[in-house]
Amino acid sequence: MPKIVIIGSGFGGLTAVRTLRKQGCRDPITLISPRPVLFYYSSLIWVPAGQRTEEDLTIPLDNFFKRHDVKHHQGTVIGLVPNAQQVQTDSLRWTLYQKIAGHRSDLRSL
């Protein structure tokens, strides 16, 4: 059975989860992110003005993960090993079998 690893709990990663499940994918999905939350950066501009707090912009994803049968791995991705199909986090190395999704502009190969 293929394992799917999605990097990041932003809009791209969460859309990948929803799309896979909507298309009928029942393969195990693991999502890697530093925290199991979606932080809504677009509204950060309102924090200094006192119109929003950090808590207002932080959306817990526990229910989303449960509804979509996703395992969350708390960690920071520190590199990719493309030839070995691996993702390196600060706590372990994941071997990939099928897909990587999400976006992170500062990833580098190990």
Where are the chain's structural domains?
4-101
Cβ(100)–Cβ(12) under 8 Å?
Answer: no
Residue 103: CB atoms within 10 A of its CB come to 12
CATH 3.30.470.20 fits 4-101, yes or no: no
Beta-strand runs (E) in the chain:
4-7, 29-33, 37-39, 58-60, 70-74, 77-81, 86-89, 93-95, 99-101
Identify the pLDDT of residue 106.
Answer: 42
* Tokens describing residue 71: 């395992």
Identify the pLDDT of residue 27.
Answer: 92
Identify the pLDDT of residue 68.
Answer: 97
CA distance 32 to 3: 13
Q: What angle do CA 17, 21, 23 make, to 5 degrees?
A: 120
Mean pLDDT of 64-76: 95
Q: How far apart are the first and last CA of the chain?
A: 27
pLDDT, tens digit, 9 for 90 and up, residues 2-35: 678 899 999 999 999 999 999 999 999 999 999 9
Q: What angle do CA 37, 95, 110 make, to 5 degrees?
A: 85
pLDDT, tens digit, 9 for 90 and up, residues 72-102: 999 998 888 877 778 888 887 766 655 445 5
Identify the pLDDT of residue 79.
Answer: 86
Between 82 and 103, the more confident residue is 82
Residue 37 has pLDDT above 90, yes or no: yes
